[in-house]
Amino acid sequence: MDLENQKRVKEFAEEYGAENLVVVLGAAEGEAAGLAAETVMLGDPTFAGPLTGVQLGLTTYHVCEPEIKKEFDEAVYDEQVSMMEMVLDVDDIVDEMNAIREQAAEN
């Protein structure tokens, strides 16, 4: 994840408390979604940014995951995301996100 974004996420967690934040991702592939989720939950796996070694444990979803999708206004989601959802491999994204969440739960 971009280093500046990591810095901002870290600042928000300090300011508002991790329990009050939700991170929503829009990555194009499962792997990239997993990496971003890992960064804000377990720490930067690339050891480059301010979240290196920082376990924020933030609640994180990809925008196309069914649990979060059902909370959106259907018409707005349809207009903003639906067509791109058809293009993405949502199953792969869900699998990667679940894998990271499981890993985070074990910690």
Residues near other proteins, by CB under 8 A? 1-3, 5, 8-9, 12, 16, 20-29, 31-32, 35-36, 40, 46-49, 58-59, 61, 63-64, 67-68, 71-73, 76-77, 79-84, 86-88
Residue 55 or 82: the one with the smaller Cβ distance to other proteins is: 82
Nearest approach in angstroms of CB 107 to other proteins is 20
Nearest to 82 by CA among 92, 95, 93, 69: 69
- Using the minimum distance from each CB to other proteins, give the nearer residue, 54 or 68: 68
Min CB(41)–other proteins separation in Å: 12
Which is nearest to 42 in space by CA: 58, 26, 23? 58
SS3 62: strand
